[in-house]
Structure 1
């Protein structure tokens, strides 16, 4: 079943009856969307959408259900009439650009809307945004066109290159100031919007994050005091996550704050990397309880905030949207390897992180977990080993941990065991890598004359 057809079944506005021609087709230009005075998908009603060819979608809520032969399916500007269900209540409006069809299950790709504002920021530093984009493997057009799909790995490289080239340690954080989670993650935001509580919103974000991209993984873990929402670059999708982790955590925290009491700050925010020299912007965005060289990138949430009702909660809409995004399409849950990786990254600092631990967190038996991984052509041991290799490299490059501390974080009993594994992973000793990184840092610190012409 096509995504747009499913969207129509979920109550999304479609061409009015009679709009179809004799051939059973209608043109997208014939659709006359309603306008509801309320913020939508990162823009306000009445404003230009990120994609001028976008289609206004309306969800309705009073369950006036009927079969409507004018409901549509098809790609691009070509729409085919077919029976489907619509229901009505002008409460919820959502901007759904044509590009959104490509954003669902995009794999390691993400929408170029995440780059919005980057070109202007880079030009303000006297640098060429197009040049930085090309070096990162991103087409320069993605800096001005929010409807493209680009590699998640390349976007992370772009953020790091931009920060380094502009000598702006807070580049990712500054990008987050004008970011809106709904605009970045697209259709997934509609599911979060109708969660009943803040905790359910966090669970849904972590559980369905693969619908946005597999270039990063998320996990939600309940704690005695509340919960921890984890974010991490997926294995193999970026050598550095400093800029992107700060951008992602800040953007997610911004959404949570919309549903928290005025003036609320999280009990703590954690980052794996080392603290910058100047923490003023970090404290302004995250609050005073910042922890660097931590076990994970995460937001601590207190129980009171997690229990707060979501301001736009609509359980029946949430259930329907979940079917739209996954169940009605016959799509499985997030790939098992991504679920396992996310949990390993969340649990590894606290113990052995065995297959039993992960299967318990997933609510399935260890045997079932192993069977699912086998069917996916994966193994728990190899996923855990790859996560350790990735984290070891990131800790070495971006944290202030010594080898003994790194070994403990990665579940090794002593530094010698880590050193053996490190050589197997990276073909060099920890000491050799440290020396190479020092030389690289010294080379990058050499002043270069800024390029003032613009691109």
Structure 2
């Protein structure tokens, strides 16, 4: 199945795009994404879509260093639960090893590999989107995020031996040199960061030993069962595609890079069917949408891909035991304490 990424990988995208004089909404929709999902950091989407969106935005805005600028807006917390565990590792080596091991919990398309030889450590970044795609912006974003992490581990005075990119240099490299320093290089055999191997044994300046037991609990939560991974992937794509009117098993299968029979088989191995996962997603979305009061029943029916509001109402009554409006009224009374 094709790798997925969390929407957190697009943190700051809308603000950065607007600062360049571009409306991000049409670009997001052109990629088949729901703009409202940009605020749902833990929702998943195809990683290749992230790469294509970054390249498209860089081209439209004329900003060759869009990925680098996006990295400047990143926070350590954008790694989600993984940030808590990585931060509490005692030294840089163990922090990087943990990051490499659990990076799938944030972005399944990014692989980091650490090599040591003759006093030099090399942190290589490899991108695998499951299909050929231009990924200059994604590469610069990934390497820049790692650079910021290393500075967090080692302190602001830390400097790498070299920062390397496999692609050609941009027309202007001033921003790259300001961010990475004078040792940034292009047209290299790999993308990544080279630094003194001795830095790996340095104390992680962000670590607090008293918090390590709690960080270990977070780590355990990042290792879902294999069955849960399949169901969660399908569920995330359903929630992504449902409001766009594209939520068919064929579309979900294409997004995962497999055929529909594989989707049905993998779900069956988990004790689920496509219909059961679709229905569970609809139940959660309907509860939020009806309860919020921000949508009309017609809008909710359309967003959940029902052919008519009456069909949505009948389905809702089956799931919740009352009509949508009655449930909305009861929920309003409950929130008022009545």
Mark yes or no: TM-score above 0.5: yes
The aligned runs of 1:47-62 (5 Å cut-off) are: none
Q: SS of 1:244's equivalent?
A: helix
Corresponding position of 2:122? 228
Q: SS of 1:208's equivalent?
A: helix
1:245 to 139, 151, 154: 139
1:328, 1:220 → 2: CA distance? 21
Corresponding position of 2:200? 306
1:266, 1:316 → 2: CA distance? 30
Structure 1 residues 328 and 216: CA distance shift in structure 2, 3 A: closer
Q: Indicate yes or no: 2:107 matched with 1:219.
A: no
Q: SS of 2:172's equivalent?
A: coil
CA RMSD of the aligned region, Å? 2.7
1:141, 1:206 → 2: CA distance? 30
Corresponding position of 1:255? 149
Corresponding position of 1:149? 44
Contact kept, 8 Å, 1:181 with 1:252, in 2: the verdict is no
The aligned runs of 1:163-312 (5 Å cut-off) are: 163-183=58-78, 185-236=79-130, 239-312=133-206
Shift of 1:191: 1.7
2:213, 2:190 → 1: CA distance? 31
Q: SS of 1:293's equivalent?
A: coil
The aligned runs of 1:33-44 (5 Å cut-off) are: none
Shift of 1:176: 0.9
Corresponding position of 1:125? 20
Q: What are the Cα deviations for residues 84-124 of structure 1, in whole angstroms up to 9, with x where unaligned?
A: xxxxxxxxxxxxxxxxxxxxxx9833222332332233233
Contact kept, 8 Å, 2:81 with 2:218, in 1: the verdict is no
Shift of 1:147: 4.5
Structure 1 residues 329 and 216: CA distance shift in structure 2, 3 A: closer
Contact kept, 8 Å, 1:157 with 1:238, in 2: the verdict is no
Shift of 1:170: 0.9
Contact kept, 8 Å, 2:3 with 2:130, in 1: the verdict is no
Task: Give the 4+ runs in structure 1 shifted more than 6 A.
Answer: none
Q: What are the Cα deviations for residues 175-194 of structure 1, in whole angstroms up to 9, with x where unaligned?
A: 111111331x2111122111
2:140, 2:224 → 1: CA distance? 34
When the two structures are superposed, what TM-score results if normalisation uses the length of structure 1? 0.46
Shift of 1:330: 7.1
1:117, 1:195 → 2: CA distance? 27
Q: Indicate yes or no: 2:10 matched with 1:115.
A: yes
Contact kept, 8 Å, 2:92 with 2:153, in 1: the verdict is yes
Shift of 1:290: 1.4
Structure whose residues are more often helix by fraction: 2
Greater RCO between the two (CA within 8 Å, min separation 6)? Answer: 2
Q: SS of 1:277's equivalent?
A: coil
Q: What are the Cα deviations for residues 198-232 of structure 1, in whole angstroms up to 9, with x where unaligned?
A: 12111111122122232222211122223111112
1:171, 1:134 → 2: CA distance? 19
Shift of 1:237: 5.0
Q: What are the Cα deviations for residues 423-445 of structure 1, in whole angstroms up to 9, with x where unaligned?
A: xxxxxxxxxxxxxxxxxxxxxxx
Q: What are the Cα deviations for residues 73-93 of structure 1, in whole angstroms up to 9, with x where unaligned?
A: xxxxxxxxxxxxxxxxxxxxx
1:227, 1:319 → 2: CA distance? 29
